[in-house]
Amino acid sequence: MQAELAGLVLIQDRLPGRVSTVLGVDAAYDDDGSRAFAAGALMEVATRTVLQIVSAEVPADFPYIPGLLSFREVPALEVALEKLTQAPDLVICDGQGIAHPRRFGLACHLGVLYDLPTIGCAKTRLTGEAATPAAARGSRAPLVDTGRTIGAVLRTQDGVKPVYVSPGHRVSLETACHWTLALCGQYRIPEPIRVADQIVGRMKRQAR
C-alpha cells in the first residue's frame, strides 16, 4: 500500500508564496498503549501566536511497527484535524517524510490524505546514512539511502543533537529545511510540534 501511495507524493514546492500559518501535529499513547491522543497546533508565523488547538482521543488498534507508524497515528490525527476551522498553509509532523524504506513516512501519508504541503521532522533516524553536520545552527548533511538523497540531518541549535528533515508532500527538501529552521525558537524542535507535544502529554497524564 505504501509503495503504491508513494507514487502520489510530490517533492516540489506547491505551497503558498506567503506561508502565514503552520500546523504542528503529534500523538501520544496511554500506558496501556491502547488509547491514542492526537493534537494539532495551528500557529501564525508572523506573530508566533497559536490560533487554534484541536485534539482527539481514540482507540489505538494498530501497533507500533517501524516503517508503519502512520497507520498507528493517522486515525487519531484525522479525528483531531477535522475540527480545524481553517486550513493551514503548511503542516509539520513529528516523524519522517520520504526518509522511509518505501518513501512514504507519516508526513507523506498526511500530505497525500489532505493534499497539503507537509514536512517530516523526526528526532531520530529511521533509514539512510549521513555525515555529522557541523555544530552551528543551520548546518546540515544530506541523508542518503540506496544512492538517493531522501532528507537532511539538520542542526537546529548550536551544539545540540540534530533533527531528521525530509519532504512529506508538495515541498522540496530545501523548503523543508528552511521552515524547520525558521520554526525553531529556543529549542531543538519546531515550535508548532512542541505545542502539539505539550497538549498530548497533558491529555495522557490526565487520563492516568
Partner DNA sequence: GCGACAG
Partner DNA sequence: ATCTTGTCGC
Q: Which residues bind DNA (CB under 7 A)?
A: 26-29, 31, 33, 64, 66-70, 94-96, 100, 105-106, 120, 122-127, 159, 197, 200-201, 204
In the complex with DNA, the residue whose CB is nearer, 66 or 147, is 66
In the complex with DNA, the residue whose CB is nearer, 88 or 105, is 105
- Using only C-alpha atoms, the chain has a radius of gyration, in whole angstroms, of 16
Instruction: Please state the closest distance from residue 122 (CB atom) to DNA, in A.
Output: 4
Instruction: Please state the closest distance from residue 201 (CB atom) to DNA, in A.
Output: 6
Instruction: Please state the closest distance from residue 69 (CB atom) to DNA, in A.
Output: 3
Instruction: Please state the closest distance from residue 46 (CB atom) to DNA, in A.
Output: 28
- The whole-angstrom separation of Cα 84 and Cα 175 is 24
- The whole-angstrom separation of Cα 93 and Cα 89 is 14
- Amino acid present at 57: E
In the complex with DNA, the residue whose CB is nearer, 43 or 200, is 200
- The whole-angstrom separation of Cα 182 and Cα 159 is 17
Instruction: Please state the closest distance from residue 150 (CB atom) to DNA, in A.
Output: 12
- Amino acid present at 49: T
In the complex with DNA, the residue whose CB is nearer, 44 or 125, is 125
In the complex with DNA, the residue whose CB is nearer, 103 or 170, is 103
- The whole-angstrom separation of Cα 75 and Cα 196 is 16
